[in-house]
Amino acid sequence: MDITTTPAWSAALESAATISQTTLKDLFARDSTRAETLSIEVSIGKDALLVDFSKQNIDEASLHLLIAVAEQAGVEQLRNSMFHGAVINGTENQPALHTALRAPLGTSVNVNGVDVMKEVHRVRTLVNEFAESVRSGNIAGATGKRFQSVINVGIGGSDLGPTLVHEALSSSITPAVRAHFVSNIDPIDVRAVLRECDPETTFVVLCSKSFSTAETLSNGRIIAQWISDAVGARNVSKHFAVVSVFPEKAASAGLAADYAFPMWSWVGGRYSISSAVNLVNVIAFGSDAFDNMLAGMRAMDDHFLSAPLHRNAPVLMGLLNIWNRSLLGRETRAMIAYSTALKSFASYVQQLEMESNGKRVTADGQLVSLPTSPIVWGGVGTNAQHAYMQLLHQGTSVVPADFIGVASTPTRDTEAHDALVANLFAQTQALAFGNSAEPHRTLPGNRPSTTLMLSSLTPHTLGALIALYEHSVFVQGCVFGINSFDQWGVELGKKLAAEVSAQISAPSQTGGTDASTAQLVQWYNKHRSNT
């Protein structure tokens, strides 16, 4: 169904045209309860996550129209289908069951008539037990030395998710084993990490859903040779674990079969943080931290499933992103985390949203009739205030922004933390309401933002925050009418990279290549051996 042909969309479009003439200052003046009614607090065990939408350019009437759009798009039905294992990734004929990975024992989720939950929990137990054995020293390196470092080798979802989790949890939990992350095929990346490690005490987690990812396998080969030089080729397998849809390929690659952990084809890479892809962090922080993160994700899953649409945080976040992108024509969205521990969150959401919803055709292969995913970018505050916040305040483009903060700090520096949070609140205030002064000092205001606050940064709240954005992306995809779970746009580049690699190895074999690429290959081969 093309949502733009529905009366609900037409009404929302008309409302957007009207609301664009209204300022946030006016909206707050009209409704003294606006901050309360446009905020949602989700309980996450002993913790909480507050989402404040009140500084978005929308009123209650327009929000009701967006809810009608969600209903017309079948968001609730599609949500329920996803959780129950229906095939919603049509181009790959797969369910999208990342939610099953954090569902409690006793839950039943069927894929092709088979309940997958026993296998999910079996693998989770294997991951936890393996990680605890590494942490305790029961699993050691070839020379008997206890592992001191673990290197996660992956790219995309196999890197961004684990990196985010590690940075976030390191702020309050001391890792038992030092973790490092290698993703880029640039050998400078992997060599820089290896300089910080000892091959005798280094363990490697190789994450590749297909076990064919070029960047991951290239880095794996470099690390394997580095370890081999120290402990011998026949002992390399004692230092490697594999996470893949095809764990059996580990044995064919000379790695230990009992160090291989499965993931499933029905979990997309950018949604895989709930799986064995997170093994590096289970080793670093322990199985309790992993279980608590899953519990936090499950709490948000439950909220997404049970809360009415008008009080459903992921639904409202997704609809307001559509409001800004598709109805008001705002092409980008900034992500600014006022927590150094969340410095990679913008990169994580960038992949999650742009790879999921950066599509130009609908699920049934028709050209979309509305703008889809915004360009997501951002960084960490307060650094952002001294970089790109100038554009957000006084630039000619209106850039919606998500601000993320944490109420408590694990350090004793409460005064500095208070100042950090004050800056967060002040920036959203300045964006919303601006000020009047001489031209160079005037801030127009009326710049929309959403503020998300975690009571503390724990495995629970981190999991809930990640799940919130996962479901928000899903809601947007439902309204766009696209398949949020495939990524065919990255496949052609991979194919062509393999062809160009062959041309670099055999420069005379450039037939069929465009003139620019042939010239670049020739130039590269001329200079590549220079040192």
The residues annotated as belonging to the active site are: 355, 386, 494
Beta bridge partners of 213: none
User: Are 165 and 278 contacting, i.e. CB atoms less than 8 angstroms apart?
Assistant: yes
| Measured distance CA(198)–CA(426) in Å, rounded | 46
Residue 326 makes CB contacts below 8 A (sequence gap 6+) with: 370, 371, 372, 479, 480
If you ran DSSP here, which 8-state letter would residue 236 be given?
G
CA 204 to chain centre: 22
- The values of phi and psi at residue 149, to 5°, are -135, 150
Give the helix ranges, DSSP H, for 93-245. Answer: 117-136, 157-170, 187-194, 214-231
| Measured distance CA(78)–CA(84) in Å, rounded | 10
**CA atoms within 13 A of residue 306's CA, in its CB half-sphere:** 7
- The values of phi and psi at residue 293, to 5°, are -65, -45
CA-CA-CA-CA torsion sign (157, 160, 161, 166): positive
Residue 111's alpha-carbon distances to 108, 150, 255, in angstroms, are 10, 34, 30
| Measured distance CA(449)–CA(197) in Å, rounded | 42
Residue 376 makes CB contacts below 8 A (sequence gap 6+) with: 332, 333, 335, 346, 349, 350, 353, 354
CA-CA-CA-CA torsion sign (463, 466, 471, 472): positive
- SS3 for 423-480 is HHHHHHHHHHHCECCCHHHCECCCCCEEEEEECCCCHHHHHHHHHHHHHHHHHHHHHH
The tokens describing 351, both together, are 């992949």
> Of 43, 24, 46, which Cα lies nearest the Cα of 35?
24
| Measured distance CA(472)–CA(413) in Å, rounded | 34
- The values of phi and psi at residue 443, to 5°, are -110, 120
Residue 170's alpha-carbon distances to 135, 154, 287, 499, in angstroms, are 16, 20, 15, 41
In terms of C-beta density within 10 A (0-12 exposed, 13-18 middle, 19 or more buried), how is residue 291 classed?
A: middle
Token pair 């839950």 is found at 107
